[in-house]
Amino acid sequence: MGFGLLIWLLSLVLAYLVNGLILQRHKNIVNRRILMLLFFYHSLLAVAYYVYSQYNRSDSHQYYFVADVKLKGDQIFDYFGVSTEFIQFLAFFLVNKLGLNYEGCMVMFAWLGFLGFVFFYIFLKERIKNPISIFGYNGILFLLFLPNFHFWSSSLGKGAVIFLGFGLFFFGLNKPGARWLALLAGGWLIFQVRPHIFYVTLIALALGYTFSSRGVAWGYRIIIVILAVFLLNLIYADVLKLTGLEDDSALDPFFSKRAYELTKATSGIDITNYTFPEKIFAFWFRPLFFDAPGWLGYVVSFENLFYLYFFFRMLRPKALGFLLRAEAIVKAAFLTFLGVSVVLAQISGNLGLAMRQKSQVMLLMLFVILKFLSDQQQHVFKTRTLKKVVPKEKDLYSQIKLRQV
């Protein structure tokens, strides 16, 4: 425990130095106090997860055990691969090359999750220039401090790494010419943790930019849509293998075996008999108090109420119109969220998995919602300004007419 505290103090120093570098490059966008507050808040939720892992099943123990006993061999590249193997590879490096214990590994992965928030913070500040208020609080900060995101990205596991990957990817996508390295690094991390999610992200990106570029003819757009479907069919077998699914029947049955196995876990919801809309709803918005699995479920239920409120706001005609005319990066974020949700909702057979996995991509949808609210606020401001200006112009015209008379 004392060694873990020492590693945390080192991560604090590292966070301070990294924040200093971030401020040099983005001094007009980010705030050092906010960055450090994010670090301490994330650390607090990391401690909460550590306590949670002592009394509940956690993949972090398995990752550490495999690395600690050198279950697959003595060489680090015996562990290198995608999905679970990649986390084992990182854990092996931390345990056997840096000499960290379980607590030290948890701290380092929590630090990776914190970096993901830093890059998402910059991305959101760059894309949403008009301040948005949510329940009286700064909209961007309100989203960044939602506890579910921090809780599941603060431990030894896939959540922290893929969250950093998405943060880097969209941070780079904002200015791909200048940030191509961040774009590549983020894409690589997403691929290493969840290759099928990476494929979905690429297809969403292609569709987003295709349907946002004015010079692209409809014929080419149709071809790109057909190509996207063709590519999904090509990677179908890999998706099955990498998600641990074996049944190769139609979309709904093809996930049923894995879903059935996952319902055996604690807090299981049997999704095998759910319709597709019910599975999506369960993935996005459950638990909702009445089916909350313990104290953690009650905390997440408050967040899910917040999600429900804003999702219903996005069903209005104005919101749908906004999505149709939105810029490429907004469409890419929206389509990535939808595509990833469709995949993960089918294999999240219990509430615990749904709470954990949706935290990897929910921030993308919240970005779309914030962008919509920002555009609406700007539109209202312009309308009010025009109403004030136009009467003045009419009064001036009337005075000129009177003088002529």
Per-residue burial over 105-143, b if 16 or more Cβ lie within 10 Å, else e, is bbbbbbbbbbbbbbbbbbbbbebbeeebebeeeebbebb
Question: Residue 270's pLDDT band (boundaries 50, 70, 90)?
Answer: low
Distance of CA 297 to the CA centre of its chain: 19
Stronger pLDDT, 205 or 381, i.e. the higher one: 205
Q: What is the mean pLDDT of residues 72-98?
A: 91
Cβ atoms 3, 104 nearer than 8 A: yes
Stronger pLDDT, 213 or 120, i.e. the higher one: 120
pLDDT at 260: 45
Q: Is the pLDDT of residue 105 over 90?
A: yes
Stronger pLDDT, 399 or 366, i.e. the higher one: 366
Q: Is the pLDDT of residue 340 over 90?
A: no
Q: What is the mean pLDDT of residues 85-103?
A: 93
119 vs 336: CA distance, rounded Å? 18
pLDDT at 397: 53
Lowest mean pLDDT among 231-240, 308-317, 332-341: 231-240
pLDDT at 282: 79
In the chain, % helix, strand, coil (3-state, to 5) comes to: 75, 0, 20
| Model pLDDT for residues 239-253, shown as the tens digit of each residue | 545 444 433 333 344
Q: How far is CA 30 from CA 21, 33, 43, in A?
A: 11, 9, 20
Residue with tokens 């590519």: 231
Q: Give me the torsion for CA of 237, 242, 245, 251, rounded to 10°.
A: -50
Distance of CA 149 to the CA centre of its chain: 8
Q: Give me the torsion for CA of 305, 311, 317, 322, rounded to 10°.
A: 140
Stronger pLDDT, 191 or 348, i.e. the higher one: 191
Q: Is the pLDDT of residue 7 over 60?
A: yes
| Mean pLDDT of the residues in the chain | 79
Q: What is the mean pLDDT of residues 95-106?
A: 92
pLDDT at 389: 60
Q: Is the pLDDT of residue 101 over 70?
A: yes
Question: Residue 207's pLDDT band (boundaries 50, 70, 90)?
Answer: confident
Question: Residue 296's pLDDT band (boundaries 50, 70, 90)?
Answer: confident
Cβ atoms 331, 201 nearer than 8 A: no
pLDDT at 43: 94
| Model pLDDT for residues 121-176, shown as the tens digit of each residue | 999 999 888 878 888 888 889 989 998 889 989 999 999 999 999 999 999 998 88
Q: Is the pLDDT of residue 379 over 60?
A: yes
pLDDT at 258: 44
Return the domain boundaries, the chain: 1-193, 207-375
| Model pLDDT for residues 39-48, shown as the tens digit of each residue | 999 999 999 9
Q: Is the pLDDT of residue 100 over 60?
A: yes
This prediction's pTM = 0.84
pLDDT at 38: 94
Question: Residue 257's pLDDT band (boundaries 50, 70, 90)?
Answer: very low
Among 183-197, 233-247, 266-280, 291-305, top mean pLDDT goes to 183-197
